[in-house]
Each structure stands twice: as C-alpha cells, then as structure tokens.
A and B are shown apart, each in its own frame.
Chain A
Amino acid sequence: MVTSLATTMTALVSPGLDLEFSFSQALQGLGLSPDVAHLLWLPLPMLLVLVAAVVGVLVTVWLERKISAAVQQRIGPEYAGALGVLQPLADGLKLLVKEDIIPARADSVLFTLGPVLVVVPVILSWLIVPFGQNLLVSNVGVGIFLWISLSSIQPIGLLMSGYASNNKYSLLGGLRAAAQSISYEIPLALAVLAVVMMSNSLSTIDIVDQQTGAGLLSWNIWRQPVGFLIFWICALAECERLPFDLPEAEEELVAGYQTEYAGMKFALFYLGSYINLVLSALLVSVLYLGGWGFPIPVEWLAGWMGQSVDAPLVQVITGTVGIVMTVLKAYLLVFFAILLRWTTPRVRIDQLLNLGWKFLLPLALVNLLVTAALKLAFPVAFGG
C-alpha cells in the first residue's frame, strides 16, 4: 500500500485514480486517524480481488462450456439462467453440498493439505495483477518474480495430493504434474527475464508503464514475439491446459491427482486450475499486450478532445477503460486457450519433456541473449 502511494507520488506519467488516497482522505475527514483509515482500507482490495477471481472463474467455466459446444456444433448449457450463465454456479453449489470423502487408506492430513497448497499460491499471485495505475492490491517491487516463485509451490501441492491419495493413477498424475511444472518453469522464467531486462524492473506496474508510450505499437509483443510464444506455451503447460493436460489425462489416468477427490476438495482443484488460467492470461496481457493500455493512449485521446488528464471524469473513464482493456485482453487469450483445447491432441510425456527441455529452453536462452544484445545496440527501443 505504502509503496503504491510512493510510486504515485514519484511517477512521472499521469498518476491516474488513487482510490486508497481518496478513501483515507474521506475517512480522515470523518475524524479518523490515518492509521485506522489504512486498516479499514486494507481488506477492501483483497476482498475485491477474491471476488473478481471467483467471478472470473465462473465466467471462464461458462465460456469454456459454451465455446466447446460451439466448436463441436452443440448448444451447451442452456437451461440454468439465460444461455446457461448460471450453470457454473449450479455446479459449484452441487460440489459445495456434496459429501466430503477421505479414502480410508489415504493420508488424511496430506490429502487435505494438497488442494489448499494448490489454491493458495494461485490466489496469492493475484496480489500483483494490475488493472490500472493504482488498481492492484500491492505494487510489490519483485512483482513478477513473486508470481514465478509462488507458482513453484503448486507442484508440491499436486504431488502431495497425488501421493496422499494412495492410488496409482493419482500418484502418476501427481508425478507428471510435478515433472511438467518444473520443466516448464525454466523457459517461462527466462521469457519473463527478457521482458524484465527491457523494462528494468520486476514490478508489474513498471512493466506496463514501459509499454504505454505509443499505444499498440509499444506493446512488448512486437519486441518479444518469440518470448510471447514461449511464455504462452509454458503458461498453458503450467495451467495443465489441453495440449499439456497429461497430469489429468482422463483416458489414461482417470483424473490424475484428482481421482480420489470429491466435494469441496475437488472444487478447490477445479477453482485453482481456472483461476490459474485467468491469472496466466492476465499476466500475458500485462507482460506482452500492454496491460491496461488502450491501443491508442488515453492521454492522447484526452488531449485531442481538449480534456485534462487529471480531470475527475477523465480519470474515472481512464480507470474504467483500463479495467475493461485488461479483462478483454485476458479473455481473448482464454478464448484462444479454449479453442486450442479442441484443436491440438494431447502430447506424450516424452514429447512434453522434449519440447520443454530441447526446444523451449534453448529458444528462451537465445531470446534472452538476443534481447540483451539488442538492448546494448538499440537502447532507445529496448529500454537501455
């Protein structure tokens, strides 16, 4: 919170909306001390992000089912609410009231801890997802690195639940999940490193700020096309989306590490995987597609219309456009992931590891080196 305020003060670009500042001003006007105002402010963004994540998952599940149906020339959910929009809610409600089963021969502590360890890091990673200049829970200095390290906790949870289930399919699924996560984390981190090198910062806010100069043209995807592809492939692998969904390959492993899970524990896995997908899509849009930036910079538009960027109305519109743009970009990527699900066949485990270690890793390394060289050669274009 303090850091976000500090960046606002020091930022040279337009400060944008600062809801926390306005909130604490209003409360101090009511006679509360700044500390109490800060304390009252703290839970609000957290709650908002939690709600946003869950709603995002519901929308994604609905989209997944509807788009899958459209691709296969079916109708998809139709009766629960208009166009079946309440179907994911009904599914969630069903899982909520289902019996919570822990198999007799399973390790009950690890069995319970597994799904928690999978979900918590994913939700925690939403800490660093920016929807606008000040619209994020916390502008952590090590932002994107925090996400990479948090996502490394996930395979531990998967392995834990796979092992604790005392089931061969679960164990195999858990092992595959761990192997997959570990091998795809390295090219992922290297792709991120190239972006970080160009923006001279790990903070997601700074990474987006560095892409806002000339709208669409300044997005990182033009300077990092290879990095974008590597990141997207690795993100799909981390989310266990279809070309890489071996850990839960239903034809061979029943449901992988989720086999023995039912009720709310299964719902946690389900929630976790979809939150992870939305999070990955959001991060791709932050790292490569200009985050909350409109294809034409909002400052230019305001200038053309003769409005000051600091005018309250313009600030509100800018903030709204920022949120809409971030969500729109993320959901475009989610749509692409769903389409990819019905296009590509599942890879074998050896193909998966070959792709990760023999293709993506060298490519990511070369990409990093080329970025470094370009940064030295053209410091203007590559953030010298």
Chain B
Amino acid sequence: MFGFLKQVGDYTRDAVDAARNLTQGLAVTFDHMQRRPVTVQYPYEKLIPSERYRGRIHYEFDKCIACEVCVRVCPINLPVVDWVMNKQTKKKELRNYSIDFGVCIFCGNCVEYCPTNCLSMTEEYELAAFDRHSLNFDNVALGRLPTSVTTDASVQPLRELAYLPVGEMDPHGVAADRPRAGQLPDQVLASMPKSAADGGESSSTTTKEENAG
C-alpha cells in the first residue's frame, strides 16, 4: 500500500519537475526573442577576418628553395613540389608548385615551417567551386592576393565582436576609426614602465616580430 503511494508521489514529483523545467526553457526562449539579431547579410556585408585567420594559402614562387619541408610537415603530404636537379649548378630548379584546397585542412603547418617564408595564410575563405579540380591551385593561382573585405566597394565590412569598441555589441554603424576594446601586445608594452619592458618578455616579442618581417 505504502509502496504504491510512494510510487504515486514520485510520479507526481517527476511530473511537476518536468513542468518546471519546461517553464524554465520557455523563459529562456522568450528572453532570447528580445535580443537583437546577430545576422550578417552575407554577400552585402562581410565580417573582417581576424589577423591570424587561416584562409587560403599564398605562395611566392621566387622565394621557394624546393626544400619540401612543407610536404614533410603536412598531415597528408599535400603540396606538390615539382623540381629537377641542375647538374651544372648542382642546385634544385623549381618548375611547379601546387596545393589542392579541396583536400587541404588549413592547419597552417607548412606556413609555420617554411624556412624562407614563401608560404603565408591569407584571409580568403570563399573557395566554393563548380568543379573540385579547380580547387587544385598551381603556383600562379597560389601567388594571387585575395581582395580584402575592407577595400571591396561592393561589400560593407563588419568587425567581429572581439574587435568592437567597449560597450558595442552590434557591428552595424560603428565608425571604423574607433579603437577596439583592450590593447594589442605592443600597446601594452608601450604603456608599461621602462624597467619592466626591458625584461625577457620584450626581447622575445621583438625576435618574433623580426621573424615575421
């Protein structure tokens, strides 16, 4: 008898719990309705990719020494380096270089390890094609620079949330010259007292910047 009553009690408690959870969920969805849309009207508006965005890879043919490091660090040995050994000069002569972006996972290992910095990441991400073979970029295609979102007259560039000024949530109508929230590493460095800036931190930063340049 009491077992049955306990069962009924448990069942009722479950039902009440379920109802309460449902109301909580409804409160959440109802609250979300008042929030502003985060829509970016894509072909007309585009987000500015972040500085370290890993987009389509750019390649400079003249800098390449055909060392094939990019092939070795690539997870699937994707870059095709077509070179011949010149017997007279005893040097490699590069003929062609290609990366198939239909297969590339944009991990950036090749860019990271390239000894002459002939590989770099661009902010291009619109790689849709009608034929997958057209995604196999040769050294000419790899050498083209993408059009920047900020310079394209037909596109309204929008800043991502992290790049907006303090207090701004909507990128629409934010003036381009208003600085982003927070400081960049070099700004932090400049604001620090001289003695602290002379420490190990600054030297490592400068070496990195020298590498990048």
Asked whether B6 is an interface residue with its Cβ less than 8 Å from the other chain, the reply is no
A72 and B32 contacting across the interface, CB-CB below 8 Å: yes
B29 and A343 contacting across the interface, CB-CB below 8 Å: yes
Asked whether B194 is an interface residue with its Cβ less than 8 Å from the other chain, the reply is no
Asked whether B176 is an interface residue with its Cβ less than 8 Å from the other chain, the reply is no
A71 and B37 contacting across the interface, CB-CB below 8 Å: no
A339 and B35 contacting across the interface, CB-CB below 8 Å: no
CB distance from A252 to the nearest CB of B (A): 22
A72: chain B residues within 8 A (beta carbon): 32
Contact partner of A343 among B28, B35, B38, B39, CB < 8 A?
A: B28
B39 and A71 contacting across the interface, CB-CB below 8 Å: no
CB contact list, A355-384 vs B, under 8 A: 359
- Docked Cα-Cα span, A359 to B25, in Å, equals 21
A75 and B39 contacting across the interface, CB-CB below 8 Å: yes
Contact partner of A73 among B22, B26, B35, CB < 8 A?
A: B35
Most buried by A among B22, B29, B37, B38: B29
Question: Given A339-B30, A359-B15, A74–B25 Cβ distance below 8 Å?
Answer: no
CB distance from B51 to the nearest CB of A (A): 27
Asked whether A54 is an interface residue with its Cβ less than 8 Å from the other chain, the reply is no
- Per-residue CB contact flags for chain A residues 74-104 toward chain B (1 = under 8 Å, else 0) read 1100000000000000000000000000000
Contact partner of A340 among B26, B32, B37, B38, CB < 8 A?
A: B26
- Docked Cα-Cα span, A342 to B27, in Å, equals 11
A74: chain B residues within 8 A (beta carbon): 37-39
- Docked Cα-Cα span, A350 to B177, in Å, equals 59
B38 and A344 contacting across the interface, CB-CB below 8 Å: no
B33: chain A residues within 8 A (beta carbon): 67, 70-71, 339
B37 and A69 contacting across the interface, CB-CB below 8 Å: yes
B90: chain A residues within 8 A (beta carbon): none
A343: chain B residues within 8 A (beta carbon): 22, 25-26, 28-29
B39: chain A residues within 8 A (beta carbon): 73-75
Contact partner of B29 among A69, A71, A359, CB < 8 A?
A: A71
CB contact list, A310-339 vs B, under 8 A: 339
Most buried by B among A70, A71, A75, A343: A343
B26: chain A residues within 8 A (beta carbon): 339-340, 343
B25: chain A residues within 8 A (beta carbon): 343-344
- Per-residue CB contact flags for chain A residues 122-162 toward chain B (1 = under 8 Å, else 0) read 00000000000000000000000000000000000000000
CB distance from B45 to the nearest CB of A (A): 12
Contact residues on B (Cβ < 8 Å of other chain), bracket: 10 to 19
CB distance from B153 to the nearest CB of A (A): 22
A75: chain B residues within 8 A (beta carbon): 37, 39
The residue on B at minimum CB distance from A70 is B33
Question: In terms of DSSP, what is the predominant structure of the interface of chain B?
Answer: helix
CB contact list, B5-31 vs A, under 8 A: 15, 22, 25-26, 28-30
Asked whether B133 is an interface residue with its Cβ less than 8 Å from the other chain, the reply is no
Asked whether B36 is an interface residue with its Cβ less than 8 Å from the other chain, the reply is yes
A342 and B37 contacting across the interface, CB-CB below 8 Å: no
CB distance from A332 to the nearest CB of B (A): 13
- Docked Cα-Cα span, A57 to B37, in Å, equals 25
CB distance from A64 to the nearest CB of B (A): 13
A69: chain B residues within 8 A (beta carbon): 37
CB distance from A237 to the nearest CB of B (A): 15
B28: chain A residues within 8 A (beta carbon): 343
- Per-residue CB contact flags for chain B residues 139-182 toward chain A (1 = under 8 Å, else 0) read 00000000000000000000000000000000000000000000
A339: chain B residues within 8 A (beta carbon): 26, 29-30, 33
A342: chain B residues within 8 A (beta carbon): 29
A73 and B29 contacting across the interface, CB-CB below 8 Å: no
- Docked Cα-Cα span, A372 to B120, in Å, equals 80
- Docked Cα-Cα span, A250 to B145, in Å, equals 42
CB distance from A233 to the nearest CB of B (A): 11
The residue on A at minimum CB distance from B15 is A359
- Docked Cα-Cα span, A249 to B25, in Å, equals 21
- Docked Cα-Cα span, A166 to B33, in Å, equals 42
The residue on B at minimum CB distance from A76 is B37
CB distance from B34 to the nearest CB of A (A): 8
- Docked Cα-Cα span, A70 to B22, in Å, equals 19
Most buried by A among B15, B28, B32: B32
A73: chain B residues within 8 A (beta carbon): 32, 35-39
A340: chain B residues within 8 A (beta carbon): 26
- Docked Cα-Cα span, A71 to B38, in Å, equals 11
- Docked Cα-Cα span, A70 to B31, in Å, equals 10
- Per-residue CB contact flags for chain A residues 278-291 toward chain B (1 = under 8 Å, else 0) read 00000000000000
B37: chain A residues within 8 A (beta carbon): 69-70, 73-75
- Docked Cα-Cα span, A80 to B43, in Å, equals 18
CB distance from B171 to the nearest CB of A (A): 14
For the complex with contacts A71-B32, A74-B38, 10 further pairs of A-B residues with Cβ separation under 8 Å are A73-B35, A73-B36, A73-B38, A75-B37, A75-B39, A339-B29, A339-B30, A340-B26, A342-B29, A359-B15
Residues of B within 8 A of A (CB): 15, 22, 25-26, 28-30, 32-33, 35-39
A-B contact pairs, 14 of them (CB 8 A): A67-B33, A70-B32, A72-B32, A73-B35, A73-B38, A74-B39, A75-B37, A75-B39, A339-B33, A340-B26, A343-B22, A343-B26, A343-B28, A344-B22
